[in-house]
Structure 1
Amino acid sequence: MSRNFLDLPAEMRSLICEYALTENHGLCYETSGGIGRLRVRDRGEFERSEGDDNSETDALDNVSNHEVKEEVPVPQVFPVNQLQLVCQQLYRETTGLEMRYNTIFFANGEDNGTRAPQQCAEFLRRLPAKQAKHMRIKVLNTENICNQNTQAISDLVLFCKHYPDSRLDIHFETIYCSPWQYLTGAMFVDIIFDKDMLSICDLKLNELVVLPSQANSSSNSDILIGWSFIETPDNLRLFPSFESFNEDYFRESTEILAEGVSFSVDEYVAWAKNWHQHGA
């Protein structure tokens, strides 16, 4: 004999709600017409695979331009948490659970005018404390790592300090499989966020590989202006790009190491791969 869902014990209802509200690939926060909302993240969204740029070329070779019609995505009308629509009791019981059970992704706004860290910071400011305690967030940050919005990043740091059970990952999208980009990013993360990134077999700052493209760059002291983060909490993790790490490409593009350094190419590649996979 079937039972009414609301007659089940609270613990069992919680398990069913968790199953119903958990999405395989998390949720995305997006803005449309100035209004923010959560939606289900598609598989592979924000990820590129090799050959994506040409994946449809063959299929379109014999189709004239006027025959190619761009598909317009159908907007999601209903909220992610549709259990809230059932009745007032479930509305009260399930409010915010979709954010507790899923990782939320933040990317740039629809017009690229509002960057991901700003969107995330604004979203978290409006979030009730009860819902903020167990957030899992990934911020896909496309700003140059040396040119960040200090207020937005500061707000994210303070959020992590205030809610230690939450987890916030910032992926610096400008750091992507280029040795010199990893070095610049590592120095920024080490100095600004106090994340101890400059350790490769007792590696010292002046032993870092200096590539030709970096030799004539401006002083890195410029990036310190306006930043003063000390003891960044462990629940704030900093990553290179959200892209998967291409070890072969990274190894091939690594320049000859300077003489006298205390680490090998293998150690350097392993260090970059570890940062990419586990964050700092």
Structure 2
Amino acid sequence: MGHRKAQGDDGSGSRGGAYGLSTIGAGGSAGAGGLVAVVVGAALLAAYVGHALRVGRGGRRAPLIELGLFARRGFAVATANSFLQGATLYGSMFLVPLYYQQVEHAGAVEAGLLLAPQALGTAVTSLLGSRIADRVAPRPLILLGIACSLVGTLAFTRCGTAGGPADWLLVASLALRGAGMGIVLIPGMAAVYGSVERAQVPAAASAVNVLNRLGGALGTAVLTLALQQAQAGRPGHPAAAFGETFWWVLALSALAIAPALLCPGSRKPA
């Protein structure tokens, strides 16, 4: 019962916050309802924190996320990076197909296929990253991945401007973004598991997974709100509205630099 209670509190809080962020800019009763949802979601998350700490101190039941793990600097830094990576990954996976559908008038299947370069870039660099992560410290690899993601986003910020990006440049940019995400993936997970004891690995894996998905939900909600505001300010210019919103994607990617700088800068001796 305690475990179910913890799981429900965490899920309800995150869903409430994401829903509130996605509707808070609607104005009128919808906007007011969104603000209420944000407040309620924050209250539920706070209640979960209190519940998880109380259960953890009792030692008889394990909460969904063991908050004591965050007392370890390495784990807190690695999960913060995972949270922000989730926000940029899932947020852009929502925004890019929508751009192709609303601006380029692509069908749903075509818009989905246009994301293939990003998936291909992630797959290739994930394979390569697994081979070099044991020889290179996490920090430089993660920073390299973030840099690739930032550069791969720049072309999309020029959408709607005079002489906007060519289609081939957007495809190449998606591949570079995906490559950056793949570079971050392996050393990021290695940093997580390297920061906890062997017996704590299952709890750490659960916490990282939850926070990565939570980052994705909140990142998507933030970008939804940003796109809504941009479209309201640029009626009749959808491409420019998307270009403005991609600056938010760039900002979310840049935020990941802070925890990346705190990741280990040298390898532990074998």
Output the TM-score relative to the length of structure 2. 0.29
Pick the structure with more strand per residue: 1
Q: Select the structure of larger CA radius of gyration.
A: 1
Pick the structure with more helix per residue: 2
Output the TM-score relative to the length of structure 1. 0.29
